[in-house]
Chain A
Amino acid sequence: MKLLTVLFKKEVLDAGRDKRSVMAGLYYAIGSPILMCVLFSIMLKQFASPDELKITISNADVAPSLIQYLDAKEIKHSTDEDVKAITLEISENYRQKMSEGRSAQVTIIADKSDDKLRKSIAQLERSLMQYNSEIASLRLLSRGIDPTVMRAVNVQVNDQATPESKGGMFLGIATLSIVLTLFYAAMNLAIDTSAGERERNSLALLLSHPLSSMQIVLAKSGAIATYSMLGLALILVVSKFAYAMVPWEQLGFSVNLGIDFILLCMVIGLPIALMSASLQVFVSFMAKSFKEAQTYVTMVLFVPMGLSMVTTYDIGTEVVQWLPIAAQQHAMIEFIKGNPLPVPQLVISTIVTLLLFALFSWLSSRMLKSEKVVFGL
């Protein structure tokens, strides 16, 4: 235990003096919530007021009522520079077909493979469909038929979303950036203290002292986890203030990160920080060099990122909610939404997280007993 403390203190001191690595972690913790805020503000603006859609309408004078209808839906003919590459072509015989009560042809000319246009095309199609059903209803009425015969199924939507739950996707992204801090904030330090230690030849010297390889691994993981937790605390505080500045009212919900949320994150984050540290140390020791370790660690971090993404976009099955990282992030989201915490999932995933920490530590300590790993033979 005494040796562990000595090793831990040295790791913390040594890592702390590696200014560049520490700063890299801090940049992430400070930068990502601010970036998210800018992103959210832009997204919210788009949600709140869809932009005016400018398209080319040919033969407009034959269909004044359609043009007026589209105009009310913010779809306008324009010759400006920012006009979308969508043309609505109204057929020459439109007026005649309409007056005869027959189907009048309008053609949308656009490239549907163009991702940027897809939303605008859908908006135009939707408006045309609405216009279509309005005119059709009027025609039925004029023939003495109740237009509701056209509505075999009467779909009613009863939206039960609370203001908080509406922000689900935003909360997902916000918590994603918080969870990932535990993996990215101390990544450079983790590589430096393991692959770097071996490359600088101090690992062999360390191992030739009377201490066990487990003590070395635990001290390293502990020091890395300390810096991860520092990053977590920082991102939580920055998030608290940054997210308060996003104009959430536009969507009718609010994101409020209180002190209780910060404390909850710190508590459920600690096992993740330990697991993440031991995983990165393990992967770095497996690599032959510092550069190789950087590649491997980056690759391995796709796994927690994937788990976190699944939670963010809510595409996982029930099983995913029990997995480490996903479950913890899910708990964070539920907490902000004001729902009860999913305790069984949280407990099981925390236990699994700690077991993984034990497994990775054991694997690393076993590797340090191998001549091949220590001397790269």
Chain B
Amino acid sequence: MISVNNLTKKIGSVNALNGLSFSAQNGKITGLLGPNGAGKTTCLRTVFGLLKADSGNTEIDGIDVAKDPMQAKQQLGLFPDPCGLYERLTPREYVEFFAQLSGMDIDGAKEATTDVLSKLKMEDIADRRCQGFSQGQHMKTALAQAIVHKPTNIILDEPTRGLDVMSTRILRDLLQMLKEQGHCVLFSSHVMQEVAALCDHVVVMAKGKVVAEGSPESLCERTGKQTLEEAFIELIGSDEGIAA
């Protein structure tokens, strides 16, 4: 479970986060929805302890990230934007490396890596160096890295960018599977279809604040709109910056 309480964060002269509060429950997929520059990435980086909030706190499974970052990070898997691959390593080496960093021993890491690579149908590229990979192959490698150590909480920053239909489907199935296993999945996106199709809970963000939250259906209902896209525009009050 991830809970974000009243976060504020100023970057330069911009209030990137402005009293942000929400929580993501175990066994649910929570979507962080917002236009470009709403503060989604800043929020996720704060959850990871990479940025320090000016005020407010973030808890992962009840552990305050600012107070005990090591313990809190044990329970996290991150799929960052951008991916941050090591181009000279193969996906197998890459995933194994991060599995060990997350605390697995070498045999456990090897086994878990083989497991996750086959789950993502990556056997054909598993032992090729990442250099020259397509966008989709990049994304899959990064995703494998995020879930290899089976963390309770998985955070994905714009996970569907650049994926083809097949890969998007694999990702969707995977997130559903993680949800069924009881993981807490939090992802940010600005692609409405994705959020509508996947999320149990949607947090709509604009200008560093939560504008509305609830299930996709309840958001449509509240605004009296047919689709999530229209509901979203109604909620943030303008159609600025929605271009994906």
Which A residues are within 8 Å of any B CB, using their own CB?
Answer: 3, 6-7, 10, 13-14, 17-18, 200-212, 371, 374-375, 377
Contact = CB atoms under 8 A, between A and B. Distances in A.
B78 A6 contact: no
A10 B97 contact: yes
Nearest to B104: A6
Given A210-B73, A377-B12, A204 B97 contact: no
Contacts of A203: 84
B19 interface: no
Contact of B80 (A13, A201, A377): A201
A6 B12 contact: no
Given A200-B86, A205-B78, A209-B98, 14 more contacts: A17-B89, A200-B85, A201-B84, A202-B84, A202-B86, A203-B84, A205-B80, A205-B84, A206-B84, A207-B50, A209-B73, A210-B103, A211-B70, A377-B12
A7 B50 CA distance: 19
A201 B74 contact: no
Contacts of A210: 69-71, 73-74, 101-103
B225 interface: no
Identify the 3 closest CB pairs spanning chains A and B, nearest first: A202-B84, A205-B84, A17-B88
Interface string B58-80: 00000000000111011010101
B84 A3 contact: no
Given A6-B97, A14-B88, A205-B78, A371 B102 contact: no
B29 to A, nearest CB: 21
B21 interface: no
B101 A371 contact: no
A7 to B, nearest CB: 7
A210 B77 CA distance: 11
A208 B11 contact: no
A14 B73 contact: no
Interface string B156-178: 00000000000000000000000
Given A7-B101, A371-B51, A208 B73 contact: yes
B207 to A, nearest CB: 19
B82 interface: yes
A162 to B, nearest CB: 51
A204 B78 CA distance: 10
A247 B129 CA distance: 49
Given A7-B101, A371-B52, A202 B85 contact: yes
Contacts of B70: 210-212
29 contacts: A3-B100, A3-B101, A6-B97, A6-B101, A10-B93, A10-B97, A13-B89, A14-B88, A201-B84, A202-B84, A202-B86, A203-B84, A205-B78, A205-B80, A206-B101, A208-B48, A208-B49, A208-B73, A208-B76, A208-B78, A209-B73, A209-B98, A209-B101, A210-B73, A210-B103, A211-B101, A212-B70, A371-B52, A375-B50
Contacts of A375: 45, 50-51
B80 A208 contact: yes
Residue among B51, B71, B87, B101 with most chain A CB within 10 A? B101
Contacts of B82: 201
A10 B83 CA distance: 18
Nearest to A192: B88
A204 B101 contact: no
Contacts of A207: 50
Contact of B83 (A3, A17, A201, A208): A201
Contacts of A209: 73, 98, 101-102
Contacts of A371: 50-52
